[in-house]
Structure 1
């Protein structure tokens, strides 16, 4: 069992920064978390078009160990995307810290009645932020360009 001073020390060793990862870190984090790869061209083109993003930096090493971003049109539709914490740094509340930062941005910047969506691959996590499944009213779909 971890005492609170150890938990606080662990939390203090990470910083959330309002910035996007560089393309190499973006690809490496997705790979480490077994997320589908994105092409280097797609990453180079897509990252600068993000609406907002954050990274998690492990202060002792300076390594970027987590990220999350919002994509969309900046007014009517937003999508939470590329939420990932490196497996070596999971189970320390970092995903919650990333989502809290993204949610704060949406609360302050998104106009009333904006639509926010995401593809969830962690049961129960996003529900705690107020997200709910769309079925049966609608269903999520995708198509990958090969």
Structure 2
């Protein structure tokens, strides 16, 4: 039984913890060097800290990236597998979407890439297909 208490913080994870959380959840790997460059450039970021027996560990995170006006992307929303099922992903996404609703211009475009079916619709996200389709390229895997 998990006896952790959780606290949501408006701050990004360390680059090292960013990589660890993504790896633990089976997300595409990012290097610590890339995270050192990218994470501080987040438009907005939150972490979830678990407190247990006096220890505090970042067990979840989420970020918003973008230009601060016309386009934003929710990204890196992850909860360590040992702490999933506690509603932490919902809490993280609530914080990100609330921040955008309070601060983003009315005409802002907000997107995300989701591997979780039926989760993000709760906040009003809709599939873009067939009107448009997402595409990507991963550098270093040509």
2:58 aligned with 1:64 = yes
Q: Which has the higher strand share?
A: 2
The Cα shift of 1:41 comes to 2.0
Instruction: Tell me what 1:16 maps to.
Output: 8
2:131 aligned with 1:137 = yes
1:55-100 CA-partner distances (Å, limit 9, x unpaired): 0000223010000000000100000000000000001100000000
1:1-146 residue pairs with structure 2 within 5 A? 13-60=5-52, 61-146=55-140
1:78-135 CA-partner distances (Å, limit 9, x unpaired): 0000000000000110000000000110011100010000000111110111100000
Point out where structure 2 has 5 or more consecutive residues left out of the alignment.
Answer: none
Looking at structure 2, the residues matched to 55 and 119 of structure 1 have their Cα atoms a distance apart, in angstroms, of: 19
Q: How many residues in Structure 1 have an aligned counterpart in Structure 2? A: 137
TM-score normalised according to structure 1 size:
0.91
Looking at structure 2, the residues matched to 69 and 50 of structure 1 have their Cα atoms a distance apart, in angstroms, of: 6
TM-score normalised according to structure 2 size:
0.93
| CA RMSD of superposed structures (Å) | 1.3
Looking at structure 2, the residues matched to 55 and 113 of structure 1 have their Cα atoms a distance apart, in angstroms, of: 27
Point out where structure 1 has 5 or more consecutive residues left out of the alignment.
Answer: 1-8
The Cα shift of 1:39 comes to 2.0
Instruction: Name the SS of the counterpart of 2:91 in structure 1.
Output: helix
Runs of 4+ in 1 over 6 A off after TM superposition: none
The Cα shift of 1:40 comes to 2.2
Q: Which has the higher helix share?
A: 1
